[in-house]
C-alpha cells in the first residue's frame, strides 16, 4: 500500500458528461501528479500540483482540469467526455517537487465512457 | 525530443534464471532514471532510481539496475527470477528542469514460468 488513495475505483458514464476523480496524497507529501494510462498511449503525464499551485503541465486536454486544495488532496475534472477518454487515471504523490524524488502511485480510477 | 524506449514488449524467463529488462533513454542534460513495477489491477510501485554516483543501483525485491552513460541505457536486472516477479515493468526518465516531470517507456511484460 503506497499510502495514496483514489476514489472512486470505477466510474462508468456516458459521452458528454462530466466526472470528478479524487486523490489523497501520502501524509506529508506536497506534490500531486495525475497520469492517464491507456493501451494505445501508454502512461501519459497530465498535470502536477505542488502545495496548492500548478507546477507542471503535460498532455492534458483543455476539457480536463485539476486543482489541489489546502488540505493537499487533489481533484481531476473531466468534462465533455468522449469514448477515447476511457482509461485508467492514476494519481501519484511525492515529498516535494523535482528530479530527485520518486513518486508513489495510487491504485487508480478506471473510467469507462459509453 | 525526450524519450524512453523499452524495446521488448514481453520477456519470458524460467524461475531461478537471471532476468534483464531493457531500457534506453534520450533526455537532455544529466539523466535521472527510475524503474517502476505494476501488478495487475494495481498502481505503479517504485523499485529503484539512479540520480548520480555508482552505476549499479540496488532496489526493492532484489532488483538492481545498471546505468550505462555511453550506451544511454538503464537495464533492470535480477540474479534469480521468481514467479511472483511476473508483472509489467516501466522505465522512466525525468526531463524538463525544475518544472519537469517523468516520461515513461511503454512497459515490458515480464513472465516468469515455474
Write the DSSP assignment of chain B as a string of letters. Answer: --EEE---SEEEEETTS-EEE--EEE-SSS--EEEEEE-TTS-EEEEEEE-SS-SEEE-GGG-EEEEETTTTEEEEEESS--GGG-EEEEEEEEESGGG-EEEE---EEEEEE-
pLDDT of B45 strictly over 80: yes
Q: What residues 10-29 of chain A have any CB closer than 8 A to a CB of chain B?
A: none
Percent pLDDT > 70 in chain B is 97
- Which of A9-13, A24-28, B42-46 comes out lowest in average pLDDT? B42-46
Match 495525475 to its residue by C-alpha cell. Answer: A34
Per-chain mean pLDDT for chain B: 92
- Residue B92 sits at the vertex; the CA angle it makes with A27 and B18, to the nearest 5 degrees, is 105
> Residues in chain B, how many?
114
pLDDT of B68-87, one tens digit each? 999 999 999 999 999 999 99
**Residue written as grid cell 524460467:** B14
Across the range A80-105, mean pLDDT stands at 91
pLDDT tens, B85-113? 999 999 999 877 666 788 999 999 999 99
In this structure, are strands A104-105 and A87-94 parallel, antiparallel, or unpaired? Answer: antiparallel
Instruction: Point out the residue among B34, B42, B101 whose CB comes nearest to the CB of A56.
Output: B101
Partner-chain contact B44 A98, CB within 8 Å? no
Q: How far is CA A54 from the centre of its chain?
A: 13
Residue of A nearest to B98 (CA): A98
Q: Is A105 on the interface with B (CB under 8 A)?
A: yes
Amino acid at each position: 500500500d503506497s499510502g495514496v488513495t483514489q476514489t472512486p475505483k470505477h466510474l462508468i458514464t456516458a459521452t458528454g458528461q462530466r466526472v470528478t476523480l479524487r486523490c489523497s496524497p501520502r501524509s506529508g507529501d506536497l506534490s500531486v501528479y495525475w497520469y492517464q494510462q491507456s493501451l494505445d498511449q501508454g502512461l501519459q503525464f497530465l498535470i502536477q500540483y505542488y502545495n496548492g499551485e500548478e507546477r507542471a503541465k503535460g498532455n492534458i486536454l483543455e476539457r480536463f482540469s485539476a486543482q489541489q486544495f489546502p488540505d493537499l488532496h487533489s481533484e481531476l475534472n473531466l468534462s465533455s467526455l468522449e469514448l477515447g477518454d476511457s482509461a485508467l487515471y492514476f494519481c501519484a504523490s511525492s515529498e516535494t517537487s523535482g528530479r530527485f524524488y520518486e513518486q508513489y502511485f495510487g491504485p487508480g480510477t478506471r473510467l469507462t465512457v459509453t | 525530443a525526450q524519450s524512453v524506449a523499452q524495446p521488448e514488449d514481453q520477456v519470458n524467463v524460467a524461475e531461478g534464471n537471471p532476468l534483464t529488462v531493457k531500457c534506453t533513454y534520450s533526455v537532455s542534460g544529466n539523466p535521472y532514471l527510475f524503474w517502476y513495477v505494476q501488478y495487475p489491477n494495481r498502481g505503479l510501485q517504485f523499485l529503484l532510481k539512479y540520480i548520480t554516483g555508482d552505476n549499479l543501483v540496488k532496489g526493492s525485491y532484489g532488483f538492481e539496475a545498471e546505468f550505462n552513460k555511453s550506451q544511454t541505457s538503464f537495464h533492470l536486472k535480477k540474479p534469480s527470477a521468481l514467479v511472483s516477479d511476473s508483472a509489467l515493468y516501466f522505465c522512466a526518465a525525468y526531463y524538463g528542469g525544475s518544472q519537469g516531470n517523468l516520461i515513461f517507456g511503454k512497459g515490458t511484460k515480464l513472465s516468469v514460468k515455474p
